[in-house]
Chain A
């Protein structure tokens, strides 16, 4: 079945540091890929997405590129802020039917001033 693997956290960075959170996936066909963010005590918010190979999703300074050859969708940000502290989930869904989301285990990011 489909699966998503994320790097384990927590990832601890100082403000303005560069962020990379690795995500790789296993899926049949051509899935859509997502990054969701969850702030403490809240539900999930869609951060960015990409629906086909070589697409780059971007939002709020975060970027991720859909790499089919390496089955990866790594999340990056050039300069993190304290307010970016949250749990980040990589996820995929097949592009057919009412497809369910398959989530990675989540990576906690802690940014200190």
Chain B
């Protein structure tokens, strides 16, 4: 149980275009979802936290107009990188929690590799 999927697993896009990454909880209700960014050989940087049906809470320094997060259902959250630039190239990882069960454990997706050319 507690499986989280991400789609796509990798994507290449041209500078100036937008790209959407999906994060799904397959067998549980994800009341809270998290989006992380990971640079090569570095740790995960939390970008934002979202609760189903609410606006995402962004970490300091993360541009909310550039990284649009939608958590419209208990099983799906999306991250849209708008007007992507090469510096947005990174590994994006989502995680999900079912806090309604009193558990704060996060289950991680496999990640999405974004390359902006």
Contacts and interface: CB of A to CB of B under 8 A. Distances in A.
B44 A103 contact: yes
Given A98-B49, A98-B99, A45 B108 contact: yes
A99 to B, nearest CB: 5
Interface in A80-113: 89, 93, 95, 98-101, 103-106, 108
Nearest to B110: A43
A44 B108 contact: yes
B19 interface: no
Contact of B44 (A42, A89, A99, A108): A89
Contacts of B41: 106, 108
A100 B104 CA distance: 9
Interface string B32-49: 101000000111101001
B34 A100 contact: yes
Contacts, number: 50
B42 A101 contact: no
B106 interface: yes
Size bracket, chain A contacts: 20 to 34
Contact of B104 (A42, A95, A106): A95
Determine chain B's interface SS by DSSP, over half rule.
Answer: strand
Interface of A: 32, 36, 41-46, 49, 89, 93, 95, 98-101, 103-106, 108
26 contacts: A32-B104, A42-B111, A43-B108, A43-B110, A44-B95, A44-B108, A45-B108, A46-B108, A49-B105, A89-B43, A89-B44, A93-B104, A93-B106, A98-B49, A98-B51, A98-B99, A98-B104, A100-B34, A100-B49, A101-B34, A101-B46, A101-B95, A103-B43, A103-B44, A105-B43, A106-B42
| 9 tightest A-B CB contacts, nearest first | A43-B110, A43-B111, A44-B108, A105-B43, A43-B108, A98-B32, A103-B43, A43-B93, A98-B99
